Amino acid sequence: MDKSSSLEDRLEYLESRIEISDLVSAYGRAVDDRDWSSVGELYCTDATFDAVEGPATGRDAIIAYYEHRTAMFGVTYHYPHSLEVLDIEGVNASGVVCAHAELSIDGKSFWVALRYYDSYKKEDGRWRFAERRVEQLYAMELRELPDQMDSPLRKRWPGTEPALADWGPGST
């Protein structure tokens, strides 16, 4: 945002950043609470969520994805560490969220380091996710983290072969 912009434009920019930050924060709470109605409301009607099992488009498909994917988890705790808003242009914006998720899978503690590559859109007067793509730095049992975090094969989901990380050293 250019500081020579009008005070009104600067205020609108700041309000948008706060609303987008609140959207990102609400995401983790709604997923962890398994509040699928609230999760759906965080997304635009034609949004796309792209994660471990591939993209889901539209609120109903996104909610179905979450219901299916989280069925394998016990307790979960998603928390964003940082939000970098890259661009706000009218009713569209983009950003990157660095985050962690703690998951219980078959009674074992599982940790995931994530980046969410987001597109946001103002729909029905509020900021929502228009697109959310998830990439992993690592995903593994907590007990493996000290020895495997630096391995190139640090995506270690239960029942799958270890795989390259989506980003970071050794991922390419």
What is the CATH classification number for the domain harbouring 90?
3.10.450.50
Residue 170 inside a domain? The answer is: no
6 or 113, greater pLDDT? 113
Residue 33 inside a domain? The answer is: yes
Residue 83 confidence (pLDDT): 97
pLDDT at 145 over 80: yes
Residue in 101, 137, 134 with CA at minimum distance from that of residue 117: 134
pLDDT at 1 over 80: no
Task: State which residues form the domain around 48.
Answer: 7-148
Residue 105 inside a domain? The answer is: yes
If you average pLDDT over residues 35-62, what whole number do you get?
96
Residue 166 inside a domain? The answer is: no
pLDDT, tens digit (0-9, with 9 covering 90-100), for 73-83: 999 999 999 99
Residue 66 inside a domain? The answer is: yes
Residue 171 inside a domain? The answer is: no
Averaged pLDDT of the chain: 95
- Number of structural domains the chain divides into: 1
